[in-house]
Amino acid sequence: MKITAISLFLPKCLLGVLLATLFLLAPVTVSFVRAAESVDLRTRGKLAILGLRSAETIKSFNFPEDSYLVLIRPAETQAPADTVPSLDTAEPSSSDRNSDRYFVCLINHLSAGERLLLSDAADGQWNDIDFLDAVLIADGISDRERAICRDIYNRHLENLRQEIAEIDDDFERVRHVYEFLHREILTGSYDLNLSSAAVCLQTGVYNCVSATALFNALAGDVGLTSFGLEMTGHAKSRILCGDSYLDIETTCPKWELLPDRPVPIPEAEPGTALLTRDAAFFRQVNYLESTSAYPSEEENEDELEAAPLRETDDADQPVTPERALALSGKKPVRTVTPVQFVATIYYNRAVDYYQDNKFDSAIYAYLKALAIDPNNKTVLGNFKATLNNLAIELASRGKNYNEAIRLTEQGLALDPNFDQFRVNLPLYYHHWSSELRKSNRLEEALQVEARYRRAFPQTESKVF
């Protein structure tokens, strides 16, 4: 029997590699807490996975000041009952049963900047810090380095403001911001793996993520309304000009290659919703594809292979909106607010860790992204996949089947429908029992098998 790992499609351009000298590379310690355990978390490591907790219980948590609770809505149970274990947790109180429950994780040992960033992002907009500060904090650089980058940026911003002081037309202001960015900041070479705005400010080297971050920062600071656009393998900017919008390929070096006028905002088209803030209301704008004619960077990059999770019959797959979009050949485009864009930076870092098989560090970064953008399905999906692969690593390399089982049980509490959790959990028991029997530790093997039957009382599995 083979334990199922997950290989996700992770486009390199959006998921660029931040320079190693800027990473906070302290090893991450993962702790697991069962519902029956005390929840004084002051002695926990960098990451504690608490599992499902009621809203009332969460209020009583006692955790350090340098920590942040991440609350994730669990998926509804749709899996067959005999494939989901009966978890060995404390019976919930009446207050627990009658209140909302969340999948709870605690991220510890955060810098003062990250604590401020996460708390400020909670209402979906930047109040105590601005967009650029949030981007630099998410880059993982030191306070000293951030101050240097901020000083460089402020000098650029002052020069830009002087250039456009007499310009009232939004379209012309956008053009001046774009040309200033390429003339004064993006002075180095294009580097697919350079997503750091901090490095870009100091060296001029950029990719679509760092260029879009700095373009949007400048645009916002001169009074323009900007969003990020995410698509497979690429990122760029969307600027609102009254009742029109303009998509900016921020890595394109020539303004004349971009659309020559803003596009009227459509009232209704199929696709991903864009919410734009007006003075008194939110207006919903739907769109499917970007307006830019400049070629995407993904056309020139090597894609990672996506290993199939299991063989399926396409005819049996439900035609979801996502699948219909994929079959149409059109690229899904997601508009991200300034707050959500910062979540993407943490997501990029998590993928870098994931690709280096540093699954615990990847989980740590994914949770920061989820704390900022809790409804991001891509981040949540990768978070679950990384939990699964960390459990596999615990079992296969460290032979720590007990921790692999506990982590997988936590994953099932988050999403009982996630196939790899359901498939792999019985296999951990099987491999654990087999290892013990090979070592003539029969009594321990029988205890593991009895534990399995308690966890799966409704199944007559042939695991043993």
* Chain segment 242-259, per-residue pLDDT in tens: 788 888 999 998 887 776
Cβ–Cβ < 8 Å for 233, 14: yes
Query: Please, which pLDDT band fits residue 429 given cuts at 50, 70 and 90?
Result: very high
* Total number of domains constituting the chain: 1
Confidence label for 410 from pLDDT (cuts 50, 70 and 90): very high
Q: Which residues of 6-21 are buried (b: 16+ CB within 10 A; e: fewer)?
A: bebebbbbbbbbbbee
Portion of the chain with pLDDT greater than 70, in percent: 69
Q: Is residue 446 part of a domain?
A: no
pLDDT band at 4 (very low <50, low <70, confident <90, very high): low
Q: Does 408 score more than 50 pLDDT?
A: yes
H or E stretch covering 377: helix 377-396
Residue that wins the pLDDT comparison between 230 and 118: 118
Question: Which of 36 and 445 is assigned the larger pLDDT?
Answer: 445
Decide which of 32 and 20 is more confident.
32
88 within some domain:
no
Confidence of residue 122 (pLDDT cuts 50, 70, 90): very high
Residues making up the chain, counted from first to last: 464
The string of DSSP codes covering 208-244 is HHHHHHHHHHHHHHTT-EEEEEEETTEEEEEEEETTE
Q: Tell me what the mean pLDDT of segment 197-226 comes to.
A: 96
* Reported confidence tier of residue 38, pLDDT bands at 50, 70, 90: very low
Q: Give domain status of residue 324, yes or no.
A: yes
Average pLDDT over residues 65-94: 65
Q: Hey, which residues does 239 pair with through a beta bridge?
A: 226, 246
Q: How far apart are CA 379 and CA 369, in angstroms?
A: 7
> Among residues of the chain, what percentage have pLDDT more than 90?
48
The gap from C-alpha 394 to its chain's centroid, in whole angstroms, comes to 23
- What pLDDT shows up at residue 272? 43
pLDDT value of residue 95: 42
Q: Taking residues 217-239, report their average pLDDT.
A: 91
- For residue 461, the model assigns a pLDDT of 57
Q: What is the dihedral of CA 136, 13, 252, 174, to 10 degrees?
A: -40
**Reported confidence tier of residue 391, pLDDT bands at 50, 70, 90:** very high
Q: Would you call 139 helix, strand, or coil by DSSP?
A: coil
Is the per-residue pLDDT at 464 higher than 80? no
Residue 409 lies in a domain: no
Strand partners, 273: 286
What H or E segment, with its residue span, contains residue 55?
A: helix 55-59
Question: Which residues sit opposite 231 in a β-bridge?
Answer: 234
Q: Is residue 176's pLDDT more than 80?
A: yes
Beta strands in 221-359 (DSSP E): 225-231, 234-241, 244-248, 263-264, 272-277, 282-287, 334-336
- How far apart CA 183 and CA 247 sit, in angstroms, is 20
Residue by residue, what is the 3-state secondary structure of 396-433?
HCCCCHHHHHHHHHHHHHHCCCCHHHHHHHHHHHHHHH
Residue 289 belongs to what domain range? 8-22+128-306+316-374
Assess if residue 385 is contained within a domain: no
Res 269: pLDDT: 44
Q: By mean pLDDT, which of 257-266, 282-291, 363-372, 376-385 is the weakest?
A: 282-291
pTM of the model: 0.77
Report how far residue 383's alpha carbon sits from residue 366's, in angstroms, rounded to the nearest whole number. Answer: 6
- Pairwise CA distance, residues 170 & 178, whole Å: 12
**CA-CA-CA-CA torsion for 250, 256, 258, 261, nearest 10 degrees?**
130
Is the distance from CB of 342 to CB of 135 less than 8 angstroms?
Answer: yes
CA distance 336 to 340: 5
Instruction: Note the pLDDT tens digit of each residue in 277-330.
Output: 333 223 333 333 333 333 344 443 333 233 322 323 444 444 444 444 444 445
Residue 382, pLDDT > 80, answer yes
Q: Is residue 239 part of a domain?
A: yes
pLDDT of the residue at 254: 85
Sheet containing strand 47-54, strands side by side: 30-32, 47-54, 101-107, 68-72
pLDDT mean across residues, the chain? 76
Domain membership flag for residue 221 = yes
Return the ∠ at Cα 199 (arms to 254 and 240), rounded to 5°. 45
Whether 413 maps to a domain, the answer reads: no
